[in-house]
Amino acid sequence: MGWLSLAIWTPIVFGVLLLALGRDDQAPLVRWIALIGSILGFLVTLPLYGGFRLGSAEMQFVERAPWITRFNVNYHLGVDGISLWFVLLTAFITVIVVIAGWEVIQRKVNQYMAAFLILSGLMIGVFSALDGVLFYVFFEATLIPMYLIIGIWGGPNKIYAAFKFFLYTLLGSLLTLVAFVYLYSRSGGSFDIQTWQAMPLSATAQTLIFFALFAAFAVKVPMWPVHTWLPDVHVEAPTGGSAVLAAIMLKLGAYGFLRFSLPIAPDAAHEWSGLMIGLSLIAVIYVGLVALVQQDMKKLVAYSSVAHMGFVTLGFFIFNDLGISGGLVQMIAHGFVSGAMFLCIGVLYDRVHSREISSYGGVVNTMPKFTAFALLFAMANCGLPATAGFVGEWMVILGAVKHNFWIGLGAATALILGAAYTLWMFKRVYFGPVANDDVRQLTDINAREFLMLALLAVAVLGMGLYPKPFTDVMDASVQNLLAHVAQSKLN
């Protein structure tokens, strides 16, 4: 068993152990086991970074074993510069989410913690899979724990939100399964993703495959106009669920474009890049305007996530190194920043039990430490230089200008809109005189909440001040992908 298998199965094994405990009277023990499991899950991902060979576009830490021999399905894992950081990000966010739910979750604690640990392992599996069936199993399996997290620990309309989340993402994925079966038959009976990437396909086949994959990955990102499930799910999901959904699960769709759509159907990707750029710009500009009028903090940050992920897909489909690298950096940064934004909203909700902006005002007067963290994350959400939120967006805008000035100009408007809706929310919630008795009775963050936010603050500032470790890892793989996509694969 290699490091990737350990990264996948360590949290899953701990999750199953928690399910076996089974009673709320053992909640203190459950929390500690969950924390140990999440920390171990993170620690076993660190050798992946420590042993990663920079400058190589090859898959590293490869593991391969027969699984379903009759159909040539293998347990085949590996990471390159595109996927490595998402394995580490997933494990890191899982630790944060376990800490965040430490005191808040009082009902079915073992099942709550187990769901997140199992989900963590499954998402790492998605980023590591090099076999089509293995990827699909992990990709679909992530729906189950998230569905339970929303449906059991969510808000008043949790059942509606859970069903909407499950149906949207499942229906989109069915066409992907059809595409995988077609690729299996065309490749002579192989589910190996790298074999699919090297296989010549006709223009018609590439177009059909591109849109079959688009059906799953666009919903998962989510791109406009299939983004409507996200605000509903975020509003109803518990704080930890929102943090993982925004920080990691949205990245599964964007990752799918880079691992499947671009390398397998490069000619179709070029042909339909105008459509993808158009949809991305609508997400960046229109959804940013929608965020401006939200009264619910979670909805505002949810729409903000759609706008920020629009930068990612824009970067991917302008086909230059700045765009793709910027999109990847933006995905990682968005994981830190959006997760932090939702956790900050959770801190307030745990005390006041309201997400409405109008329920707050003058929070800085009663929670100065917390407000300092919230300000940092708000600035990062605006794309302030020296924060993680700036690096990826700036790279994508530079890449877009290199591709087409007007596309770059359109993307740059998102920085203005992002600053507008984030600062508008921050001003009304945190600044001014104390607005009501609820705010007057607030107590500042405790040691657990301080630790949770401090870890994210270090990540946001560290990435903003020194992004080189991130770009160094992905550079060779991005160059290799661009070279591959530039070659025609028409029969």
CA distance 154 to 144: 15
Greater confidence (189 vs 267) lies with 267
CA distance 186 to 264: 12
Q: pLDDT band at residue 24, thresholds of 50, 70 and 90?
A: low
* Mean pLDDT, residues 321-331: 89
Residue 22 pLDDT: 67
Helix (H) or strand (E) holding 77: strand 73-79
Tell me the pLDDT tens digit for each residue of 39-62. Answer: 999 999 999 888 888 888 788 888
Asked whether residue 434 carries a pLDDT value surpassing 90, the answer given is no
Q: Which two tokens stand for residue 312?
A: 């990612």
Tell me the pLDDT tens digit for each residue of 384-411. Answer: 888 888 888 888 888 888 888 888 888 8
Q: pLDDT band at residue 28, thresholds of 50, 70 and 90?
A: confident
* Mean pLDDT, residues 181-209: 84
Q: pLDDT band at residue 448, thresholds of 50, 70 and 90?
A: confident
Asked whether residue 491 carries a pLDDT value surpassing 60, the answer given is no
Q: Which two tokens stand for residue 189?
A: 């009976």
Q: Which two tokens stand for residue 35?
A: 């924390």
Residue 88 pLDDT: 92
CA distance 266 to 323: 16
Tell me the pLDDT tens digit for each residue of 356-390. Answer: 888 888 888 888 898 999 999 999 988 888 888 88
Q: Note whether 129 and 138 are within 8 A (CB).
A: yes
Q: pLDDT band at residue 93, thresholds of 50, 70 and 90?
A: very high
* Mean pLDDT, residues 416-428: 87
Asked whether residue 488 carries a pLDDT value surpassing 70, the answer given is no
3-state secondary structure of 73: strand
Asked whether residue 431 carries a pLDDT value surpassing 90, the answer given is no
Residue 432 pLDDT: 79
| Torsion sign over Cα 10, 13, 15, 17 | negative
Neighbours of 278 (CB within 10 A): 15
With tokens 């998102």, the residue in question is: 414
Q: Note whether 81 and 475 are within 8 A (CB).
A: yes
- Would you tell me the crossing angle of helices 84-100 and 321-352 to the nearest 10 degrees? 10
Measured CA to CA in angstroms, residue 236 lies from 240, 280, 293, 296, 428 at distances of: 11, 26, 19, 12, 23
Asked whether residue 457 carries a pLDDT value surpassing 90, the answer given is yes
CA distance 32 to 37: 8
Report the chain's C-alpha Rg in angstroms: 22
Residue 489 pLDDT: 65
* Poorest-pLDDT segment among 105-109, 205-209, 445-449: 105-109
Asked whether residue 118 carries a pLDDT value surpassing 90, the answer given is yes
* Mean pLDDT, residues 332-346: 90
Asked whether residue 490 carries a pLDDT value surpassing 80, the answer given is no
Q: pLDDT band at residue 441, thresholds of 50, 70 and 90?
A: confident
| Torsion sign over Cα 388, 391, 396, 397 | positive
- Would you tell me the crossing angle of helices 143-153 and 132-141 to the nearest 10 degrees? 0
pLDDT above 70 covers a percentage of the chain that reads 98
pLDDT above 90 covers a percentage of the chain that reads 15
Q: Tell which residue, 214, 225, 286, has the closest CA to residue 253.
A: 214
